[in-house]
Structure 1
Amino acid sequence: MSFRDAGGPIHMAASATSFALGATVTRSDIPVLCAELAELVRGRAGGVVICDVADVAHPDVVTVEALARLRLTARRHGWSLAVIGAGPHLLELVRLLGLTDALLQAGRQSEQREEAGGVEEVVDGRDSPH
């Protein structure tokens, strides 16, 4: 089974379950959403949680935070999280925050990513070490 999202096709594992965000997500909703997701996947063999965000009316940084926390919750229970239904505003916000690979690239494990080559930290001699 596969789904299509802005990032391309999402190939589904044998075990998949659905989870959806409502029209609005507040910071106080995040712990509740994470608890609901944990209850949904707890005790089940790992697979993919399909997180549908199509109903999110006005995505903001809190929406992105919710997705990041949901991804962590899924991973703690041996599941991965695939986001579908992301509109252009959410896609742009995730891109601006530099989280596209972490939140919107389905089926990609962080352990499989390679570190960027040739990146060095630049230290300004005027910076205080403290």
Structure 2
Amino acid sequence: MSYGRPAGLPHVDAKTPAVLVLAGPVTRDEVPGLCDDVRGLLEVSGAAVVVCDVGGLGPPGLGTVELLARLELAARRAGGRIRLRDPDPALHALLDLVGLRFQMEGQAEEREPPLGVEEEVEPGQPAV
């Protein structure tokens, strides 16, 4: 007996992040469909962020940069953002080089300070 994959986007509950897995070299013809997928995941899940697993994209290039920029634009137009999961260090460096900043999974958000050690100050002592 065989079971076919159901049509459409998978059901996502509020506790499960919406994840889009990007695999293999993505052609220019596939980009509009992936943008539609990001918008659909934001709408279906009600989440503000779609996690894009970029570990399987292969060696980074300007095509990858363009893809991620278009996905981010589609997400922002739909009222959300994308977050990258498992980016290659070379991709991270390339994104920095072209001036694109993406939130990476596992990093502190911009508005949250990273966790650190808090030192207690004795009363009457100046804070350092």
Q: TM-score range by the shorter chain?
A: 0.5 to 0.7
Which structure 2 residue ranges, 5 or more long, are not aligned? 1-13, 112-128
The CA RMSD over aligned residues, in Å, is: 2.3
Rounded Cα–Cα distance in structure 2 between residues aligned with 1:108 and 1:79? 16
Rounded Cα–Cα distance in structure 2 between residues aligned with 1:68 and 1:97? 11
**Alignment pair present for 1:35 and 2:36:** yes
Cα distance change, pair 105–22 in 1 and its aligned pair in 2 (3 A): closer
Structure 1 partner of 2:49: 48
Cα distance change, pair 15–76 in 1 and its aligned pair in 2 (3 A): farther
Given that residues 18 and 47 in structure 2 are in contact (C-alpha distance below 8 angstroms), is that contact kept between their aligned partners in structure 1? no
Cα distance change, pair 43–86 in 1 and its aligned pair in 2 (3 A): closer
Q: Deviations over 1:70-92 (max 9, x none)?
A: 11111122222111111122112
Structure 1 partner of 2:63: 62
Rounded Cα–Cα distance in structure 1 between residues aligned with 2:45 and 2:92? 30
Cα distance change, pair 105–86 in 1 and its aligned pair in 2 (3 A): closer
What's the TM-score once normalised by structure 2's chain length? Answer: 0.63
SS state of the match for residue 52, structure 1? strand
Given that residues 21 and 51 in structure 1 are in contact (C-alpha distance below 8 angstroms), is that contact kept between their aligned partners in structure 2? yes
Q: Deviations over 1:6-57 (max 9, x none)?
A: xxxxxxx967311111121222221111012222222553421111100111
Q: Which amino acid aligns with 1:91?
A: H
- Could you say which structure has the greater relative contact order, defined with CA pairs below 8 angstroms and 6 or more residues apart? 1
Rounded Cα–Cα distance in structure 1 between residues aligned with 2:61 and 2:33? 18
Which structure 1 residue ranges, 5 or more long, are not aligned? 1-12, 110-130
Q: Which amino acid aligns with 1:27?
A: R
Rounded Cα–Cα distance in structure 2 between residues aligned with 1:59 and 1:104? 17
Given that residues 20 and 52 in structure 2 are in contact (C-alpha distance below 8 angstroms), is that contact kept between their aligned partners in structure 1? yes
